Amino acid sequence: MSMQPREAGEVPLETVRVARAAFPRGNLAIRVRDELGALFTDEQFAGLFAVRGKPAWSPGRLAMVLVLQFVEGLTDRQAAEAVRARIDWKFALGLELTDPGFDFSVLSEFRDRLVGEDAGRCVLDAILVAARERGLVTAGGKARTDSTHVLSSARELNWLEMVGETLRAALNAVAQVEPDWLRARALPEWFTHYATRIEDSRFPKARTKRVEVGRRIGADGMRLLRMIWTDDAPVTLRVLPEVEVLRQVWVQQFHLVEGEVERRDPKDRPPGAKRLVTPYDVEARGSVKRDTVWDGYKVHLTETCEADTVHLVTNVTTTVATVPDDRMAAVVHAGLAARGLLPGEHWVDAGYANSSALAAAGIDHGVALHGPLRPVTVAQARGEGTYGQDAFTIDWDNQHVTCPNGITSTQWHRRRSEEQLPVIRVRFSPADCRTCPRLRDCVSSPKAQRREITLRPRHEYEALHQARQLQATDEWKDRYKIRAGVEGTISQGVQACGLRRSRYRGLGKTSLQHQLTGAAINLIRINAWLSDKPRARTRTSPLTALRPAA
């Protein structure tokens, strides 16, 4: 399709007349158009369409339809019907009353175009630009961030279902492309075991028999892969996505033991960041956070949190489920910097706060990152040693450390941690430490002959030390209460827009869903702000209300 950019223009007079009569007090769609104007223009999405071809429906209007669809939780069919039938949507889109709209399939095609160019951010950005022009959002204030888990749209599978469905998907793909080739080579029992969905099979309850089923599936998959990689096999089979997924899963889950296919031991399988969990969403990953176990992704929401302004979502970042929160502060700050919406204070939970994040936030972006910090050392937290790092005096300029008993370190080396982060290894001489009467109070190991200390680079260490001192004050603890409000934003995203369940498969489409969710939350909140609707208070159960004061 081609697209010739058109000006958004004014809302047709007849549409205005009917909408005002039907909604004398306005509603979300009408109020947003009145106060913010046309949020999206065709020029914003010109790069998604060809210059020649069949004319496309206005992409600026389609973007608005997508956001309104998430505001109301509609399916594609329902959203297309709303464009045809609802006067408030026609008003928001600037359409004539007689405009027939479009076929619902246009929405999925438009989403594919947005995903291909990572243009979902443009949708959220356009709303933030309009809000900034209206004075509803500014840089330099307070912001808060939190993350939540997102379930993949593909059903969670146990191990036998996962490998069985992977093989079944590959067999179906091969049967569709090269039916005669597969018919001549398929084993007769394959039609019994893999012709229907694996979940419809009745797996044996006994563990030994389930192991035998796993070996059989592994052997069948290995046989298919060998057939595909023989010289007389059609080359087209090797590039099928389902066959590539089969190859990856079999490498991760099986190996040959004396010529027989066996399941790999847990220690021989790849880490969770690389391990596939379903053949139907190859970018989903399995993760665990405290008591929550899920297959899918993780989304990070950042919102403004000034007391007397509307709280708007300013950044949305989606990752696979295995990416830890402590790596995301810099990513969030980069996204806010690109929008010109960096806060002065950024409030997060303990998952985001660490020495490198604190230092980088201040040095790279001038942001004061606030979040609870972990104990200084594991040994000190367990009470295994009297002398923690704070008991030592560090001379950064001369590169040595002095212990509480006046002994100076003899080694200072720059190294890399297991996570490949820069650290400084400091060691004391065994000759000095062995004669010290407080050695056992200084080291955690009963056999250690000297103290060793691992330090962060100076700028990180000093940022961490200052943050610990600040967090020990009652003032900081009272101010930190502001972070809890982001839990309500996540709850709103879950209840209003289905934030925790991906509608689509793949990281790209899931990320687009979350950008649209952030945009929808912003429209809901802007509408509430403009109509003077007060924020909901935290609900208190009747029993909690009866609790005696401390």
Position 53 scores a pLDDT of 55
Nearest Cα residue to 527 out of 17, 131, 196: 131
The residue ranking higher by pLDDT, 49 or 420, is 420
3-state secondary structure of 44: helix
User: Which residues make Cβ contacts (< 8 Å) with residue 404, sequence separation at least 6?
Assistant: 387, 391, 392, 438
Report the chain's mean pLDDT, rounded to a whole number. 90
- Measured in Å, how far apart are the chain's first and last C-alpha atoms? 67
pLDDT digits (tens, 9 = 90+) for 246-293: 999 999 999 999 989 999 999 999 999 999 999 999 999 999 988 899
- Range from 35-49, 270-284, 317-331 carrying the lowest mean pLDDT: 35-49
Instruction: Give, in degrees to the nearest 5, the angle at Cα 149 between 145 and 150.
Output: 120
pLDDT at 548 over 90: no
Position 189 scores a pLDDT of 93
- As a whole-number percent, the residues of the chain with pLDDT over 70 amount to 95
Position 382 scores a pLDDT of 40
How confident is residue 418, by pLDDT bands cut at 50, 70 and 90? confident
pLDDT at 329 over 70: yes
Position 1 scores a pLDDT of 55
User: Which residues make Cβ contacts (< 8 Å) with residue 134, sequence separation at least 6?
Assistant: 35, 36
pLDDT digits (tens, 9 = 90+) for 47-83: 887 656 566 788 999 999 999 999 999 999 999 999 9
Q: What is the pTM of this model?
A: 0.88
Chain centroid to CA 237: 34
Position 441 scores a pLDDT of 79
Q: What integer is the mean pLDDT of 390-396?
A: 88
Position 289 scores a pLDDT of 87
How confident is residue 381, by pLDDT bands cut at 50, 70 and 90? very low
DSSP E strand boundaries for 323-410? 345-347, 368-370, 393-395, 400-402
Q: Locate tokens 């040693």: which residue?
A: 385
